[in-house]
Amino acid sequence: MQKINSPSEMVEMRDLCQAAFARQKVRFLVCAGTGCIAGGSMEVYAELKRLIGERGINVDVELLFEGQESDAGAAKSGCHGFCQMGPLVRVEPKGTFYTKVKASDVPDIITATLDEDTVVERLLFKNPDGNKALAEHDVSFYSRQTRIVLAGCGTIEPEDIRNYFAVDGYQALADIFQNHSPEQVIDIVTKSGLRGRGGGGFPAGRKWKAGLDAKATPKYVVCNGDEGDPGAFMDRSVLEGNPQAVLEGMTIAAYSIGARYGVIYVRAEYPLAVVRLLKAIEQAKEYGVLGENIMGTGFDFDIEVFQGAGAFVCGESTALTLSIEGKRGMPRVAPRPRTTEVGLYDKPTLLNNVKTFAYIPDIIRRGADWFKAIGTESSSGTAVFALTGHIANSGLIEVPMGIKLREIIFDIGGGIPKGGKFKAVQTGGPSGGCLPESLLDTPIDYDSLDEAGSIMGSGGMVIMNEKTCMVDVAKYFLQFTEEESCGQCVPCRLGTKQLLEILKDICKGRGKPEDMDLLVELSHSVHGGSVCGLGQTAANPVLTTLRYFKSEYEAHINDKCCPAGVCKDLISFRIDEDKCKGCTLCARACPVSAISGEKKEVHTIDQTLCIQCGICLDKCPKKFSAVECVSPKIIVTPKEKMEVS
């Protein structure tokens, strides 16, 4: 291993790494993101290594660095993004892209690649038009994306820093040491138009300038990886897939404001991210690109990893710093100085989201104008979204700002699966809102989404089909915020509780017509009376669903009907006499034995016993489709009850 002793040596290091990796003729990159690991990608990786090794091929990366050639090797990459089709394997240099790979597919992949120079047809992704995609850029899910932050995820091995060196890693840091003063770096960031990717969208350059101007010492750089939004995993994938980019971005920030220490705050639920970060930090220190006397310049910067303990509110900057200090994560009460003046341990602290830092090396290397040219006037660059829910292609995407919601959902996401119909798109997690079909031509940027009543947020995007109840969704988010409210502001602590109770009542069929006005009034009180973002935005899910899906509220309140068939207290399951063939599947599966009927005879559901679990609906074979969900509820009169029993 060669320690970097001066910034000028970085070029040499890159060339050395590129040359070494080029000695490996074929590389099988197995996705080691959390999604693919859950699908068994580590077994695929082990099998690849074993079978390549059996052929007597050298799979040891170290030997490549000693100058030995190799016919093939296997590596673990970060998340490729197309999690739904995992486990994913990409074969380089051709880029052949295999989906849903099992360990038992590995012999075929190896034979096709190394002996026959062909591909394994059955593992290729089939586009909606029926054409099979050979490489990622042939897949509609990828072809419309612009990948900057995610470029390294899925192409490099996150646990070996030399992979990052080979793709120009740490060149930006070496460049600023040689050519730019802190002011000049901040100037580049300002000119790029980069806005904070945590959701607020505060201009990054302005924040960095405030960090530089702050007088007190020591200063801190904090990376916010407390990705608490349910339904989002962008930061997780970046931390797991390209941790070095985050470290380099933080180090550049530290140089710009004169910070000595850094902390990365990672959610407790992301153990793999923690492991990869710790490894990345250790390697960066070994190579002299982090720690004391970085690249021999005399500049010192250390980064520690702090594991959060499970509190959504800690994503708020002041709560996050208090949490690092070992206290309850309760946002500081206004009026308060900015974190850049009084932050961690009451010292100046520059706090940015994971993705904000990950953009920095590219912006420095490719220039502010390059970044500014992507996206829109007020929101430059790209946006990263976790596209999930009722969507055909689910996964992690990166798109230029300004792209329309419709393009994301239908062109990249492939629309709603199983013949379903689009109902709503939810962005911004519990702080965001649900937008209907009529707003699908809204361009994605901070201001347009804000106007529509939602927010950009940090990047969760959940698609909902016609079987989603919007009142239930509002209830779901309020349940979340009510639980996560830190409790110091009364309007938030009690307001979210009351909002939740009203929504619960509506879902149970106990809603009153005046409840809708009450919800709006309460929402405004919670918004106005809370100090932090959690409380100020907590009512957004209620307000947007009321605004765009009012008829569903009315159906619940006036007709005691849940049109989507979700709210248990308003629905019943029944068996269509004409369709039931008496296969007994439903009766055997019913957990409360509410279904009776002889074999090959029509079955019936005892409504007094039924718990609306819906298992009968799932079990009934598609060709019969005899079980249906109806709303309003079937009212059982005592007479009917007698008949059934």
Contact residues: another protein, CB under 8 A: 34-35, 37-39, 83-84, 227-233, 236, 267-270, 306-312, 323-329, 386, 388-390, 394-396, 426, 429, 460, 462, 464, 468, 473, 476-477, 480, 486, 591, 611, 613-615
> Which residue number, 246 or 294, has a Cβ lying nearer to another protein?
246
> Which residue number, 113 or 353, has a Cβ lying nearer to another protein?
353
> Strand locations in 284-427, DSSP E?
291-294, 299-307, 349-353, 382-389, 395-400, 422-427
**Rounded least distance, CB 301 to another protein, Å:** 20
DSSP class per residue in 204-225: HHHHHHHHHH---SS-EEEEEE
> Which residue number, 39 or 563, has a Cβ lying nearer to another protein?
39
> Strand locations in 99-216, DSSP E?
125-126, 132-133
What is the torsional sign of CA 545, 550, 552, 555? positive
> Which residue number, 156 or 232, has a Cβ lying nearer to another protein?
232
**Rounded least distance, CB 534 to another protein, Å:** 13
**Rounded least distance, CB 371 to another protein, Å:** 27
Give the Cα separation of 566 and 618 in Å (integer). 14
**Rounded least distance, CB 227 to another protein, Å:** 7
> Which residue number, 88 or 252, has a Cβ lying nearer to another protein?
88
**Rounded least distance, CB 498 to another protein, Å:** 22
- DSSP-assigned beta bridge partners for residue 75: 29
Burial code (b: 16+ CB inside 10 Å, e: under 16) for 427-463 equals: bbbbbbbbbbeebbebbbbbebbeebbbbbbbbbbbb
**Rounded least distance, CB 225 to another protein, Å:** 11
**Rounded least distance, CB 571 to another protein, Å:** 13
> Strand locations in 154-271, DSSP E?
220-225, 261-266
> Which residue number, 205 or 413, has a Cβ lying nearer to another protein?
413
> Which residue number, 126 or 327, has a Cβ lying nearer to another protein?
327
**Rounded least distance, CB 328 to another protein, Å:** 4
DSSP classification of residue 97: E
> Which residue number, 24 or 426, has a Cβ lying nearer to another protein?
426
> Which residue number, 65 or 306, has a Cβ lying nearer to another protein?
306
* Residue 604 CB partners (closer than 8 Å, separation 6+): 575, 595, 596, 597, 644
Give the Cα separation of 88 and 81 in Å (integer). 9
Residue 532's closest CA among 499, 493, 571? 493
**Rounded least distance, CB 388 to another protein, Å:** 4
- Paired tokens of 367: 């220039």
> Which residue number, 61 or 387, has a Cβ lying nearer to another protein?
387
Give the Cα separation of 318 and 151 in Å (integer). 31
Contact 174, 7 (CB under 8 A): yes
HSE on the CB side for 614, CA within 13 Å? 9
**Rounded least distance, CB 334 to another protein, Å:** 21
Task: Please name the helix (run of DSSP H) or strand (run of DSSP E) that holds residue 46, with its range, or none.
Answer: helix 41-54
Residue 429 sits at φ, ψ, to 5 deg, of 60, -150
Give the Cα separation of 50 and 47 in Å (integer). 5
**Rounded least distance, CB 157 to another protein, Å:** 21
Give the Cα separation of 55 and 110 in Å (integer). 10
> Which residue number, 258 or 614, has a Cβ lying nearer to another protein?
614
